[in-house]
Chains A and B, each alone.
Chain A
C-alpha cells in the first residue's frame, strides 16, 4: 500500500465544526447504534450553555429507558422534558407543536416506523417557524427524503488501554441536502461537556 495519508488535525476539526451542529431551523435524522448518544451530544452542545429546554418524544411501549444520571454528563436533566405518545401520529403531532412553539431549542423524536414525505415536510416547516432544530432517531432504511441531513452513528472500539471511559464513535453523514458526505471519529468529554474530534490518522 502507499503512504499513510497525513491528515491535519486542524483541518479535520474545521471540517467537523462546519457540519456540526447541523443546521438550525431544519430537521435532521440520526440512525445507528449511537444515535441516542448523538442526540444527547447535540442537546449538550445546543443547550448546555443557554439553559434552554430539550423535548424528547418517544413511543410509550419502548422498554429502554433514558437514564437521566447518564444523561447528566451531556446536559443537566432539568432542561429535559420527556413525552410518551401512544401512537406515532401523536408523537409527530406533539413534535410539530413543540418545534413551532419557539421555546424549545431541540426536539428529539424516536421513531419506530418510517415517515413519509408529507410528515417530514411538515416537521421542516414547523422547525422553520419556531426556529428550532428537530432530530429524528430511527433505523437506517426508514428515513424521509425531507430531512436536511442524515447521520449514521456507530460506536467504535478504542484499543488504547488507557481509554477506560471512552465514548469514541464514528459519525458519518450519509445524506446531505447542501454539502458533502464525510465522517469523523468523535468522543464526548464529560467534564467539559464538549465534543472531541479525533483525527483518523491517529487511530491507524
Chain B
C-alpha cells in the first residue's frame, strides 16, 4: 500500500507547553520566552509570537531581550517536560491513525494510509488536525506527502498553497546539516530542483553519500520507516464475578488469581510492582480500595499475596463484591537476578517485614543510616528511607562519639575549660574527668543556622554522678552547650 505520511512540526513547543499549563501570571498573550542557561549566560530557548513581534529571536541573550521588552515574562527550559509533552501529543495523534512516531524533539510523524477516509479525506483530516491544535493552544504546522522526507520539508519550509511539490524548496529542506547546506548554497545550488538536475555520481563524490540519501528519501527512491511508539504496558487485571462474594477468604482467592496474571505480565516486561491497588466493586456500586506499598519492587505472587491480608480484612463487603480489579500503580525496573542461596531469602524476608510494618506506620517512617562525609556530628550520617536505599558504606569514627545526640542545650559556664560544677536538666553535676578539646570548624560552604556561633571545642566529660556528656564550647561566641550523651 502506498504510504501517506503526515508530518507535524511544533516550532514553539516549549513556550506553548508553559502557556498551556497556565504557569504565567496574568496575561498569557503578552511576550513570553523560555530561557536556558548555556555558556554562562541565559539565552532565549523558545519564544511566543508576541515576543517575536517585538523583535526578539532565538539564542538572544536574555538580558538584552529584557532591555528591548520590559514586560517580558520568562520561564526556565525543561527539556524533559517538553519530551513528555511531545509524547502526550503523540498519544493524541493516535486518534488519526495507529502509526504515530516522534520526530526529533519537536515533531510527530503519522502514517495515515488507509485511515484518511474516516475523516472525510486527507484535506479534511489535516484541517481537523490544525483546528484541534489551534484550539489546544499549540502552534503547529501540518503537511502530508508520500514520503517522510517530503512531508518534513513541507512542514518546515513549504507554503500551504503550493501543494506537495518540493522541487522549489531550498536545499535545507532535505534535512542536511548546516555545513553541507552552506557549501551547497555557496555553489549556487539553492533549490532542490537544482540538486536533482545534477548527475548523481557528481553529488555523491563532492558531498558524500548523505546528500544523495536524503534526496532519495525525499523523492521516494529509497524507503524510510516511521517507527511508531509502543503503547505503554498496562499493569492492570480484573475479574468480574457472576455472583457477589463477601468472605475475605474468597476475596483473597480472587486476588491470588489476579496476582498470578499480573505478575506474569510484570515478568514479561522485567518490571516489579512498587505500589499495588486492589479495587473491589460492590453490588451497590460502592467501591473499596486496598492499597499496598511494597518495600522493594516485587513480582512474586506468593510473596505479595499474604501482604494483602491485613487490608482485605478491613474491607466492608456490604451486599457483596462483584468485580475485583488489581492495578500496579507504580512499577520499577526489576531485572532478572541470579538466585543465590541464603542471603537473598534473608533480605527478602526483611523487605516483606518493612512492607508489612510500613503499611501500618508509613513506609517513610522506617529508616536506615547511611554514612556521610562530614566532620559535623549531626551531618556525619544520613537518614534514608529503608525501602528506597541499600545498606552500604563503611562507618569510621576516629574519636569516640556519643550514642545519643540531641539539640544543643545551653549550660552556665565560662572559660575555655569545662566548668567544674554545672546544672543540666535540673541536675547538679560535678565533672570528674574531662577529655578534649576536639575542635570542629563549621562547613562554611553550607549555610547552617546551628553553626552560626562559629568554631566548637568538644569535650567528653565524665561526671562524678555517672553520666558521660558531650559538651562543647564556642570560643567565638563564648558559651557552653551539651549536645550528646555517651553510653
Contact = CB atoms under 8 A, between A and B. Distances in A.
Interface of A: 33-34, 36-37, 40-41, 53, 60, 63-73, 76-86, 90-91, 93-94, 97-98, 101-104, 154-159, 161, 163-167, 169, 188, 190
B386 to A, nearest CB: 6
Given A67-B401, A83-B365, A84-B365, A158 B406 contact: no
A70 B397 contact: yes
A48 B155 CA distance: 69
B118 interface: no
B366 interface: yes
B361 A86 contact: yes
Interface stretch (B52-60, B272-280, B458-466): B458-466
A103 B395 contact: no
Contacts of B400: 70, 73, 165, 190
18 contacts: A65-B378, A68-B395, A69-B380, A69-B381, A69-B395, A70-B397, A70-B403, A73-B397, A73-B400, A80-B368, A80-B369, A81-B386, A82-B368, A90-B360, A90-B361, A156-B466, A157-B463, A161-B433
Contacts of A161: 433
A166 B433 CA distance: 10
Interface string B201-219: 0000000000000000000
Contacts of A85: 361, 365
Contact of A81 (B349, B368, B464): B368
B468 interface: yes
A97 B361 CA distance: 12
Interface in B435-487: 435, 460, 462-468, 484-487
Interface in B375-398: 377-378, 380-381, 383, 386, 391-393, 395-397
A77 B104 CA distance: 48
Given A69-B381, A83-B361, A154 B404 contact: no
Contacts, number: 153
B354 interface: yes
Most chain A beta-carbon contacts within 10 A, residue among B367, B460, B464? B367
A77 B392 CA distance: 9
Given A72-B395, A86-B361, A154-B466, A63 B407 contact: yes
B486 A70 contact: yes
Contact of B462 (A37, A101, A166): A166
Which 7 A/B pairs are nearest by Cβ-Cβ distance? A37-B487, A103-B349, A68-B369, A155-B466, A78-B391, A70-B401, A72-B395
Interface of B: 346, 349-350, 352-354, 356-357, 360-361, 365-369, 371, 377-378, 380-381, 383, 386, 391-393, 395-397, 400-407, 432-433, 435, 460, 462-468, 484-487
A84 B361 contact: yes
Contacts of A64: 404-406, 485
A166 B435 CA distance: 11
A67 B402 contact: yes
B466 to A, nearest CB: 4
Nearest to A103: B349
A26 B65 CA distance: 74
B367 A164 contact: no
A127 B484 CA distance: 32
Contacts of B395: 68-69, 72, 76-78
A66 B401 CA distance: 11
Nearest to B354: A81
Given A81-B366, A97-B357, A34 B487 contact: yes
